[in-house]
Chain A
Amino acid sequence: MTREVSIPNGAEFFEIRFESIGGLGAHVAGKIVASAAVLRMNMNGSHFSSYGSEKKGSVVRSFIRLAPADKAIRTSAPIEEPDVIVVFHSGLLAHPATLSGLKANGTLIYAGHEGDVPVGLSLLPKTAKVIRVDAQKIAFEESSRENAVLIGTLAEAVPTLRRQAVLDALTATFASKSKKIAMANERAFTRGADEVEIIKNMGKLDGNVPTMSSNPVWGYRTAPIGGVLPTPGNTAHNDLHTSRTGWMPVLDRDKCIDCGMCDMVCPDLCLVWSTHTDEDGKPLVKLDGIDYQYCKGCMRCVETCSTSAMTREAELPGKADELRVPLFTELTAAAGGKHA
């Protein structure tokens, strides 16, 4: 039933880090993989995630630390130099921190559509193994979720893990759900294991990816006392496009009657309006478009639109940049420099 576990290269631990967005199931996926190792592969292990508040759409890291059964795991600290990084949303590869610390001979697995080979991959070690899987497409086709696909890819790609044990843990996690869900998960897992693309020759780096630690923008000498923020509305600098999971609302100007209903229901405050006057000098407003920097893709605007001017469309690479109408044109410059 169990087998001897080998931790490669005589290292203390075998460590896996998931990089994800809240709502994609990274935490549950981590739990499944780690519990498979501990309860089905006779390893020692720990699992934890980085998030605190329970929000969909924000960055989530999930950590799996594995060791032989007789080796104590004492540290509770996050994983800085992982053997494997699994990226649940290829948009996260735009942030160098996503790849922080990956070992030179480590493995990167990322969810991306066919042809999605982000330039960020050039920050990888030459010797790292890079695997792309279209988790979203497979999950959609199998009525499962991205996390089932990705742990399939992980379980197959990493010799330290036993594929069947991980699949059994996945099935057990959803045992209380219907047989249908269990079967959908199994298909997604299996396709995740098998339908992958090995990306070659992207990494340019010698050795490990350096670990990135960033200082806070303020310290005790520079921060206003009491935690006061004298920077009204500076969340406007945030970029939330990774909260969208494959779909985006698109405005058809020809159908829009500028009624303003979408503006009443948009949670992300990302609709851009302008004023003008008609021939009689009467002031009018016009919906110019959507600032996709803030849009999280909830589609409430689409749902409320009475003229079908807003529609839900698949988000192809580059489409949001092309259609984006910036809400604060003055911000782009201000956001540069050392500000974060």
Chain B
Amino acid sequence: MLDSAAVTRSGPVAQVHDFKSGNEAAALAARDIGFHVMGYFPITPSTEVAETLSKMQADGEHDIVMIPADGEHGAAGICYGAALGGGRVLNATSSQGLLYSLEQLPVQSGTRVPMVLNVSTRTVSGPLDIRCDHSDIYFVLNAGWIILMARDPQSAYDMNFAAVRIGEHPDVRLPVIVAYDGFLTSHQKRRIDRFDDPAAVKAFVGEREDPYSALDPDRPVTFGPYMNDPDLINNKVQQHQAMEAARRVIPEIFAEFYEFSGRDYRSVDAYRMDDADVALVLLNSAAENAKGVADKMREKGHKVGVVSPNVLRPFPTDEIRRLLKNVRAVVVGDRGDSYGAEGGNLSLEVRAALQQDPDNKTLVMSRVYGLGGKDFYDADAEEFFHEALTAAETGKVEVPFEYHGAYAGDDDAGPAPGLPPIKAEEVSRGMATVTPNPETNKLEVELKPLWEMTTTPSRIAPGHGACPGCGFFPMLRQAYNVLEGNIVVLFQTGCAMVTTTGYPKTAHRITYIHNLFQNGAATLSGLVEMYHERVRRGEIPEAPEGEDTTFIMVTGDGGMDIGMGAALGTAHRNHKMIILEYDNQGYMNTGSQLSYATPFGHRTSTSEVGDKLSGKRFHHKDTPQIFAACNLPYVFTASEGYPEDFMRKISKAQWYAQREGLVYGKVLSFCPLNWRTKDDAAQEVLQTAIDCCFFPLYEVEKGHTLVTYDPDAIGRRRTVGAWLGQMGKTKHMLEAENAERLEMIEQEVETRWRRLKIKSDNPEL
């Protein structure tokens, strides 16, 4: 047999051709399996699984309960809880998302609760890179989950069916990961065969049977007791035994799957290995590339083959040992390093497997390749084969371990030089004068006319890569017009981060830091305290009052979902800094998934609109009120469409952040791409959002709420419907069948607005 992975014969079940990416294939499998619950959080490149399922749901193709979590840690919790209830559970994630959920993974495997997690593999930060390698999946090798590898969209589809059966097998009872290459497989469309016989699929996957359920009142059980020594080690032996049982069960299920589908998977995919002198060991899509190259090398008379595990946990040690028994030299390619171990995890495990065979003489070379999405071309596979052939010929390995495809650099080259740094004096021009009013105990702000501000040098340079019409940059420009002195910014992951810092260029002319959006507020709070401590120790010169460096954490509304915990912790500690949120009402950087700030009924790529689904199912998060409840010195809302109002507020924010503590501000920020408007519709849409009271402009200064723009008072009040009619993402809300939903959002807006007005009118509230 030439190719043990891709031999297709017509199985008994009816199938049809389709043309799908790996993510779409995983979503199709989820639909066909009929999972009960999916808990998820969007992250590139796995997001498309949830997006595709949302579209299918809108069209009535499945009834999986789709739960958008606040982050991957939350998603893992949702999945764990749902799986304890005895139904089938699904998740999809990548990279940092997998790492953020890492803490939950051993909980789930240790308590023996099956589910399926699709991992569209992507490199881990930092620096942030959204493309493929296997450094994420390498982190979960010790998590106790079964890990199946899917080398193309077809196997991404197939492995999900196998995963359900393997994980739920009574001798196994473990959660299962299906891992396929980010972008290379997740986003590459290929011809696939999918099942066209729901009854047969149902019979194949069967019913889930759980020995214990959290939803069985007749048999109450305790999940997750407090277990120290001497008991824990015994629990771990059981877990080990389950993994060992999986070694037997996996081939059984693969055999059943072959009967069912006609596609024959083995624990290790062996290509032209029968008489191979040398081989490459690679995972997933790179192994497929290498097979094509092996064919060409064979034509030239080289006896080469490709070994590629379809199962990474349990690691198929026996099969690897058997396949490489007579192979003279092998190059193991790792798309991820285990820094300091002289080989990535695959190399280490192949070496360990061979070491158990005292007769084995195979020479092993380890190569780290393809990191961060670096493409793996035929020429790369060819080079690996030649290295192996040379070693086989000479009988020795010249370079046991190295990085393949890295570039040393050219001393005469470098990125375009920076602009001159912006000095504090240049930008401290008194565009806003902030004065405390001793009578009201509040601040008053006098702004210079707008035309005078135009010559303030911008702390942000042009040439950034944001979409035409993007509202973030007007907001930042307005803030920088009036903010005085030295500023350090931290941007959480999001559009503004990605579009301003594409390596090796940066649009920032002042010091800028990125951290992942779980943690930006905490990170900046650490820097704030370091600043003040170093000033106290005399290591940094003390600034005159009101001239301390201003620290600003910039985040999208998405960052205030996943990063809410760290932001609230930072707020409660009341560090001297500003949290500035640009709210464009969705995860726009990753393709417009819903955020908790997305209003009810709005169309996003994870809250689609169709016969069976009408946009987002719950109301928008009231983040300013959450921060107001932290009793901060100053909380405000603003819009980039009202520059003067915003600039007054951000000036006050700086005053408070330098003297009293933390400020939170939320700024409504235009996103024509995902609001589905024209690029120049900002003014109208932002104005109507404010005039309909969906987005009231107000501030909470030392606990006192003040509405700073009252459309009722000046006769400009409009309906929420007027606003929704201006955006493509919400037009459906005005259709007759959505009358009830329109009424619901109108009511919610009115309730919140009235409550705010009462607070504004009553200084005690």
Contacts and interface: CB of A to CB of B under 8 A. Distances in A.
Pick from A34, A55, A78 the residue with the most CB of B within 10 Å.
Answer: A55
A16 B472 CA distance: 36
B418 interface: yes
A72 B151 CA distance: 13
B184 interface: yes
B261 interface: no
A230 B501 CA distance: 12
B338 interface: no
B188 A217 contact: no
B19 A264 contact: no
A80 to B, nearest CB: 8
Interface in A237-295: 237-238, 240, 243-244, 258-261, 263-271, 273-275, 285, 287, 291, 293-294
B704 interface: no
Contacts of B470: 267, 298
Contact of B468 (A47, A75, A243): A243
Contacts of B376: 76-77
Nearest to B18: A39
Contacts of B499: 53, 55
A221 B409 contact: yes
A231 B468 contact: no
Interface in B403-453: 406-419, 421-422, 449-453
B133 to A, nearest CB: 13
A170 to B, nearest CB: 14
Interface string B497-529: 011111111111110000000000000000000
B500 to A, nearest CB: 7
Interface stretch (B473-481, B546-554, B617-625, B726-734): B473-481
Contact of A294 (B44, B414, B416, B462): B462
A77 B290 CA distance: 11
A266 B223 CA distance: 57
A261 B454 CA distance: 9
A78 B377 CA distance: 8
B289 A77 contact: yes
Contacts of A53: 44, 130, 495, 498-499, 589-590
Contact of A273 (B185, B289, B454, B588): B454
Contacts of B45: 52
Contact of A77 (B377, B463, B680): B377
Pick from A52, A219, A243, A339 the residue with the most CB of B within 10 Å.
Answer: A52
Nearest to B286: A76
A231 B462 contact: no
B461 A263 contact: no
B454 A334 contact: no
B289 A38 contact: no
Nearest to B290: A74
A58 interface: yes
A235 B462 contact: yes
Contacts of A57: 465, 467-468
Nearest to A222: B409
Nearest to B682: A300
B484 interface: no
A231 B375 contact: no
B416 A231 contact: yes
Interface string B290-306: 01100000000000000
A218 B460 contact: no
Contacts of A265: 474, 640, 643, 682-683
B224 to A, nearest CB: 39
A233 B506 contact: yes
A236 B499 CA distance: 13
A285 B681 CA distance: 27
Contacts of A77: 289, 375-378
Contacts of A328: 419
Contacts of B466: 55, 267
A4 interface: no
B190 interface: yes
A129 interface: no
B288 interface: yes
B189 interface: yes
B183 interface: yes
A38 B17 CA distance: 9
Given A232-B419, A299-B679, A264 B467 contact: no
Given A38-B17, A219-B408, A44 B463 contact: no
Question: Could you tell me the dominant secondary structure of chain A's interface residues?
Answer: loop
A234 B417 contact: yes
B763 interface: no
Contacts of B191: 38, 44-45
A76 B131 CA distance: 14
Given A34-B189, A75-B292, A238-B463, A297 B377 contact: no
A100 B470 CA distance: 32
B375 A215 contact: no
Contact of B460 (A269, A327, A340): A269
A251 B500 CA distance: 27
A269 B458 contact: yes
B181 interface: yes
Interface in A209-228: 215-223, 226-227
Pick from A73, A234, A274, A285 the residue with the most CB of B within 10 Å.
Answer: A234
B74 interface: no
A34 B18 CA distance: 12
A268 B589 CA distance: 18
B592 interface: yes
B408 A229 contact: no
A239 to B, nearest CB: 8
Contact of A334 (B413, B416, B468, B478): B416
Contacts of A237: 416, 463, 505
Contacts of A270: 462
Contacts of B509: 232-233
A145 interface: no
A210 to B, nearest CB: 15
Contacts of B473: 266-269
B462 A291 contact: yes
Contacts of B190: 45-46, 73
B187 A49 contact: yes
B454 A327 contact: no
Pick from A38, A217, A274 the residue with the most CB of B within 10 Å.
Answer: A217
A163 interface: no
A316 B414 CA distance: 35
A3 interface: no
A313 interface: no
A260 B450 contact: yes
Contact of B285 (A52, A76, A274): A76
B183 A48 contact: yes
A54 B447 CA distance: 37
Contacts of B590: 53-54
A52 B131 contact: yes
Contacts of A34: 19, 189
B503 A264 contact: no
A74 B411 contact: no
14 contacts: A23-B673, A52-B45, A55-B467, A72-B6, A232-B418, A232-B508, A240-B465, A260-B452, A260-B454, A269-B460, A269-B477, A274-B455, A338-B413, A339-B417
Interface of B: 6, 17-19, 21, 44-45, 126-127, 130-131, 181, 183-185, 187-191, 285, 288-289, 291-292, 375-378, 406-419, 421-422, 449-455, 458, 460-474, 477-478, 495, 498-510, 588-592, 640, 643, 672-673, 679-683
| Those 5 A-B pairs whose CB atoms lie nearest each other, nearest first | A219-B409, A222-B409, A235-B463, A233-B461, A238-B463
Given A222-B411, A232-B510, A259-B450, 6 more contacts: A215-B410, A220-B408, A235-B461, A235-B502, A267-B469, A300-B679
Interface of A: 22-23, 31, 34-35, 38-39, 44-49, 52-58, 72-78, 80, 215-223, 226-227, 229-238, 240, 243-244, 258-261, 263-271, 273-275, 285, 287, 291, 293-294, 296-300, 302-304, 327-328, 334-335, 338-340
